[in-house]
Structure 1
Amino acid sequence: MKETRIGNTLVRIAGNIVPQVEVALGQGESVYFEHHILLWKHPQLNIGIKPLKGALKRMMAGMQIFVTEATGPGSIAFSRDDAGEIIPIHIRPGDELHVREHQFVAATGSIDYNFFRVKGVANILFGGTGFWIDRFFAPQQPGLLLLHGYGNVYEVNLRPGEAIDVEPGGFLYKDASVQMTTNSQRLSTGFLGGLNLFMNRFIGPGRVGIQTMYVHLPTAD
């Protein structure tokens, strides 16, 4: 079992194949999440709806405009119905983390949640329709973010100017300071022609989270 704490909130992560994360909230402390990942909770825990900023923009993008929020005291547990790993990431005031869409589990109330769209060459692997990156930011207070990665999750720390090429389905998260582009390499197959190898290139400084099971979003026909 892994444990971490932020303020009066204690987080416990247990299990290997499909893990559970339990969040024990102190008086008045809160955590928000997508309702379908709720596994169990204490009866006294207060559950409500938290509207997200930029509701019109989110509606036009076909994304949710509300999340579910739990307020302590009491414990609540979450689990996704996929094999993988749940990882806690502490976010300091003023820091920002970019996360692959649909892999957010929960966040403390001190963290702002927004998104942006990746356009142009960088989305060529997603049918040219673009894909969304979740943006988590701690404006004033430190916060804790919980993510689900498929398979196992490994973190690479890049020095300034250092680069790494990652299979597009392996990207999980990155610091806002890390630049992401798409790199293409032509592979020749002789008389049969050739094919293009596409990789996401990340350039430091900062952290990049990599998941060992590839995820490929549906592309347009």
Structure 2
Amino acid sequence: MPGLPELMPSEVSDETFGGVTYHVAGELVPVLSVDVSRMPVYFEHHILLWKNSTVTIGLKSLKGALKRMMAGMQIFVTEASGQGIIAFSRDGPGHIVPIHLRRGEEIQVREHQFLAATASVDYTFERVRGLATMLFGQSGFFIDRFRGDSGDGIVWLHGYGNVFEKRLAAGETIDIEPGGWLFKDASVRMETRIDRLSSGFFGANVNFVVNRFTGPGRVGIQSMYLHMPTEE
């Protein structure tokens, strides 16, 4: 029997990696707390919950500003630095998961579900490939890409519901409801599969759509579906 996806930890205490020590706590609406004394952290807008007054807030420009502007995407993110701790939380229930990246490793993330990352992690994006995936894959038009370019680092993501991880062997596949995937390794291929179901009753037909992921690598699954609009 194929292995089941495994529930990712929902609480983390005193974890140190990539130049920061962090905590994740809370069951319904979790909170991420990060000590930024040794490494700045950049984060999505409007998620700051609290911070020590010694922590300063600034703007960090992202690579490919012109490309981002033409795609209608943000060209700056907010960055925290200085001596102390800063805490983040989304205004909705879910599961905060840390993704540790060694230098050169890359993770690809569903659009709008990035929470924060260490300054050592490069943040770019790519267009969703394939007309069927773009129109029916329910992932929006872009996928966020995070890469440990200047050293080890961490990306924190917010998943809706609970987040499970499935490790795929080379050539192994899993079909996921279009709103159910959260992240994947760059080595994992994603394609949208459409099956046309017919009841034979007055010619009634319905499309059954899944996103198929092919290993090797990891796939993150969120138990609460999120359906992105197909146009902004």
Measured against the shorter chain, the TM-score band is over 0.9
* Alignment CA distance shift 1:195-1:95 (3 Å): same
Report what 2:17 is aligned to.
6
Selected match of 1:212 from 200, 220, 223: 223
Alpha-carbon distance, 1:34 to partner: 1.7
Report what 2:5 is aligned to.
none
More divergent stretch after superposition (140-149 vs 186-195): 186-195
Report what 1:114 is aligned to.
124
Distance (whole Å) between structure 1 residues aligned to residue 109 and residue 205 of structure 2: 33
Distance (whole Å) between structure 2 residues aligned to residue 180 and residue 137 of structure 1: 19
Is 1:135 paired with 2:145? Answer: yes
Is 1:102 paired with 2:112? Answer: yes
Alpha-carbon distance, 1:25 to partner: 2.0
Is 1:156 paired with 2:128? Answer: no
Counterpart AA for 1:199: V
Alpha-carbon distance, 1:21 to partner: 0.5
* Alignment CA distance shift 1:130-1:84 (3 Å): closer
Distance (whole Å) between structure 2 residues aligned to residue 95 and residue 144 of structure 1: 11
Report what 2:175 is aligned to.
165
Contact 2:167-2:217 within 8 A present in 1 as well? yes
Which runs of 5 or more residues in structure 2 are unaligned? 1-10
Q: Equivalent residue of 2:58, what SS?
A: strand
For normalisation by structure 2, the TM-score amounts to: 0.90
Distance (whole Å) between structure 2 residues aligned to residue 61 and residue 118 of structure 1: 12
Distance (whole Å) between structure 2 residues aligned to residue 33 and residue 130 of structure 1: 21
Q: Equivalent residue of 1:123, what SS?
A: helix
Contact 1:126-1:219 within 8 A present in 2 as well? no
Report what 2:35 is aligned to.
24
Alpha-carbon distance, 1:8 to partner: 4.3
Alpha-carbon distance, 1:126 to partner: 5.7
Contact 2:197-2:205 within 8 A present in 1 as well? yes
Report what 1:40 is aligned to.
50
Selected match of 1:79 from 73, 89, 93: 89
Contact 2:18-2:154 within 8 A present in 1 as well? no
Report what 1:188 is aligned to.
198
Contact 2:98-2:157 within 8 A present in 1 as well? yes
Distance (whole Å) between structure 1 residues aligned to residue 117 and residue 26 of structure 2: 20
Counterpart AA for 2:187: S
* Alignment CA distance shift 1:126-1:201 (3 Å): closer
Alpha-carbon distance, 1:60 to partner: 1.2
Which of the pair is proportionally richer in helix?
1
Distance (whole Å) between structure 1 residues aligned to residue 66 and residue 93 of structure 2: 34
Alpha-carbon distance, 1:24 to partner: 1.1
Q: Equivalent residue of 1:86, what SS?
A: strand
Q: Equivalent residue of 2:143, what SS?
A: strand
Contact 2:125-2:143 within 8 A present in 1 as well? yes
For normalisation by structure 1, the TM-score amounts to: 0.94
Alpha-carbon distance, 1:151 to partner: 0.1
Identity %: 57
